[in-house]
Amino acid sequence: MQCQIVIICLLYVGVVYARTEEDQQASSASNANGITEIFSGLSEQCFYRPPTDCPDLNVDCPCKRISLSHNYESDAVLCCNLDNHTFENGLQCVGFPSNISYVHIRNATLDVFDAKKTRWRRLKSLAITDGRINRVKGQFLIMTPTLCLNLSNNALIEIDNNSLIRLAQLTTLDLSYNNLTHLPALNTMNGREFWLDISGTNTLWCHDIYQYINKTGEKQINFNRENETVCSASKTWHWFNTTEQVPLQQVRYLSLLQTECPKGDTWQCQCNFRRLDIVEGKPPTLAVNVDCSGIQLTELPDKLPRNTIALNVSYNNITVLDDLSTNPSYEDIREFYADYNNISSINKLEGSKFLDNYALLSLRYNKIKSLPTYILSLNVHDKSFGSSRLVKLGGNELHCDCNTAKYLKVWLQTRILDSDEVLCENVKEKVVDLEPSKMCVYPGDWTDYIYYIIATEVILLISLIAKVSYDYWIFKTAGYLPWPANKMPKLPCDWLCET
């Protein structure tokens, strides 16, 4: 009796060892061909066999029936190299679907896979991998107990949107390495874990994935091989007129965006997706727009969400721009709108990182009185050449003088987008309408007047000397003084001379 027990134990160990080796081979083949990995806890749900287990090519039936261990209540079927003509016969030759709950079909070439067929009604695991299938059409039947559906590596182009919504027990869906652009509707109700693998299917629109992350929540949907998963961003989702690949982590971040959006006791900013932001040397990121306009702020928000590139704080009571220079969360800002505030100076921006990166600075209708052009001159290019760096200062009332009329006027016209709306505080004119001849008093004007006075005095002096000389000559030759000298009253010195 003891001998029999030992023999049974040895046979059991041998079977376990054989199955372990087979599982390792399957896992190795899976990684080599980009197939979804089998997770612990789901190994009994997902039936998968490597290509080495395929029936021999010289056998009439391309499918074979596999008896599973006692943990499985029914058998499995493995089929290889099926096409539209051999699909039906291949399944029939192994007695499918009688007492079969697990199916793996490898290297199938099908125009359409019809999900509504009754034959799939009892399956707990269905894998159709490593083939060529153009489309999945129809709906799986109600109450189909499928837990695992693997359609990986088939170059799939389309799955009907409602094909999978009746799979109420589905916990593992592998759509990796296909050419899908849209995800079908997924049934993730009942709070169960749902594993989705879309790695290698880089043509999926990020918009679809974003919607599912928001709809299902972090606790209900999990992504297998998330670090290897990217999606495509298109112009239809408010992005650049191009198609770029975005890491899944960036899309997931959008669902958490509102929790990082600035807010206070009496105010709340609005944060939303802006566009795909591409910076040389960095992976593409989803840029964020923060709108804090019209909520009675007296200072800039202390913290902004990651990847914020645009901030709008217009129609508030903000007076200073210190955070643009000193706050680390403002380092990625490229567009800053602070129109209709109480900002009186831009001096704090001097030497800031903001001036190295910005694309647009809008400070319309504030209280800026002076404009140090050196702060912006090194960073703003001539707007006539279509520069991407723009400044708006319309509605501000500068203190205007001769320098404003001669130099600042020209600088505004070439560098400021709305220069025709910049006003003067002390002169009721626009800066662009100032005339230097009216605003400036040149030193040369006073010099000319002095020259005229000196010239006049010299002429008068010469005339006086000539008159005195003439009177003296008349007196010596004729003995009398000419008029008007003889009509002049006598002075005390004249009486002295007569005595």
pLDDT for 31: 37
277 belongs to a structural domain: yes
- Does 247 share its domain with 330? no
Tokens of 205: 């629109």
Rounded to the nearest angstrom, the gap between the alpha carbon of residue 365 and the centroid of all alpha carbons in its chain is: 28
Paired residues of 494 in beta bridges: none
Coil/strand/helix, residue 333: coil
* pLDDT tens digit sequence for 87-112: 999 999 998 988 899 999 999 999 99
- Does 287 share its domain with 153? no
- Does 242 share its domain with 276? no
- Does 394 share its domain with 477? no
CA distance 41 to 46: 10
* pLDDT tens digit sequence for 187-216: 887 778 889 999 999 999 887 887 777 654
pLDDT for 498: 56
CB-CB contact of 17 with 11 (8 Å) = no
Angle value at C-alpha 407, between 405 and 413, nearest 5 degrees: 90
- Does 338 share its domain with 483? no
Low-confidence ranges of the chain (pLDDT < 50): 1-43, 216-218, 235-241, 379-386
15 belongs to a structural domain: no
Sign of CA dihedral 323, 324, 330, 331: negative
CB-CB contact of 342 with 320 (8 Å) = no
> Taking Cα atoms as reference points, which of 371, 379, 318 lies closest to residue 345?
371
- Does 192 share its domain with 229? yes
Coil/strand/helix, residue 52: helix
> Taking Cα atoms as reference points, which of 313, 336, 340 lies closest to residue 325?
336
CB-CB contact of 403 with 440 (8 Å) = no
CB-CB contact of 414 with 390 (8 Å) = no
- Between the alpha carbon of residue 441 and those of residues 45, 401, 410, 430, the distances in Å are 92, 10, 19, 20
CA distance 253 to 276: 13
Q: What is the CATH number of the domain that holds 83?
A: 3.80.10
pLDDT for 499: 53
Q: What is the dihedral of CA 445, 447, 449, 452, to 10 degrees?
A: -140
- Does 236 share its domain with 94? yes
pLDDT for 448: 66
266 belongs to a structural domain: yes
Of the three residues 231, 256, 281, the one that is the final residue of a domain is 256
- Does 229 share its domain with 352? no
- Does 367 share its domain with 461? no
Rounded to the nearest angstrom, the gap between the alpha carbon of residue 280 and the centroid of all alpha carbons in its chain is: 14
- Does 430 share its domain with 305? yes
Tokens of 2: 């003891």
Burial tier of 466 (Cβ tally within 10 Å: 0-12, 13-18, 19+): exposed
19 belongs to a structural domain: no
Of the three residues 209, 238, 256, the one that is the final residue of a domain is 256
499 belongs to a structural domain: no
CA distance 309 to 285: 11
Of the three residues 256, 276, 293, the one that is the final residue of a domain is 256
Place of tokens 């647009």: 360
CA distance 175 to 188: 16
165 belongs to a structural domain: yes
314 belongs to a structural domain: yes
pLDDT for 471: 77
C-alpha R_g of the chain: 45
185 belongs to a structural domain: yes
Q: What is the dihedral of CA 222, 224, 225, 230, to 10 degrees?
A: -70
- Does 191 share its domain with 308? no
Is pTM beyond 0.95? Reply is: no
Give the number of other CB atoms < 10 A from CB of residue 239: 23
- Between the alpha carbon of residue 447 and those of residues 439, 440, 444, 452, 454, the distances in Å are 19, 15, 5, 9, 11
How many domains are there within the chain? Answer: 3
CA distance 445 to 448: 5
Tokens of 277: 């932001």
- Does 210 share its domain with 332? no
Query: What is the span of the domain harbouring residue 471?
Result: 448-487
